[in-house]
Amino acid sequence: MSGSYMPNPPSTSTINLTIADLTIYAVLLFPMLRITWKHGKSGMVCWPVFLSFLALRYVSDAYLIANRHKPQIPNPVIIMTNTGSIVCLSLIIVGIIYERNVILSLPPRRWTEKVMLAVTHLTLTTGITLATYGGSPKQGAPGGVISKHLNQIGTYLMLFVMLFGVGWWLWNTGKRAMSPMTHPNFKPARWLLLAGCAAFHSQLVRLGHTVTYSSTP
Q: What is the pLDDT of residue 166?
A: 93
H or E segment to which residue 53 belongs: helix 46-66
For residues 117 and 100, what is the distance between their CA atoms, to the nearest angstrom? 12
Query: Which distant-in-sequence residues (6+ apart) come within 8 Å of 145 by Cβ?
Result: 134, 135, 136, 137, 138, 151
> What is the residue-averaged pLDDT of the chain?
81
Q: What is the pLDDT of residue 50?
A: 78
For residue 78, pLDDT over 90 is answered with: no
**Burial label, 135 (beta-carbon count in 10 A; 0-12, 13-18, 19+):** buried
Q: Whole-model pTM? A: 0.80
Check: CB of residue 32 under 8 Å from CB of residue 40.
no
The arithmetic mean of pLDDT across residues 113-137, rounded, is 87
The arithmetic mean of pLDDT across residues 65-93, rounded, is 85
Confidence of residue 205 (pLDDT cuts 50, 70, 90): confident
For residue 107, pLDDT over 80 is answered with: no
Q: What percent of the chain has pLDDT over 70?
A: 85
How far is the CA of 96 from the CAs of 56, 116, 148, 200, in angstroms?
A: 19, 13, 32, 10
The arithmetic mean of pLDDT across residues 81-102, rounded, is 85
Higher per-residue confidence, 126 vs 184: 126
Q: What percent of the chain has pLDDT over 90?
A: 16
The arithmetic mean of pLDDT across residues 49-56, rounded, is 84
The arithmetic mean of pLDDT across residues 143-158, rounded, is 86
Q: What is the pLDDT of residue 2?
A: 45
Q: What is the pLDDT of residue 158?
A: 93
The arithmetic mean of pLDDT across residues 6-28, rounded, is 85
168 CB neighbour count, 10 Å cutoff = 11
The size of the chain, in residues, is 217
For residues 153 and 148, what is the distance between their CA atoms, to the nearest angstrom? 9
Confidence of residue 185 (pLDDT cuts 50, 70, 90): confident
pLDDT winner (highest mean) among 39-43, 73-77, 127-131, 184-188: 127-131
For residue 150, pLDDT over 80 is answered with: yes
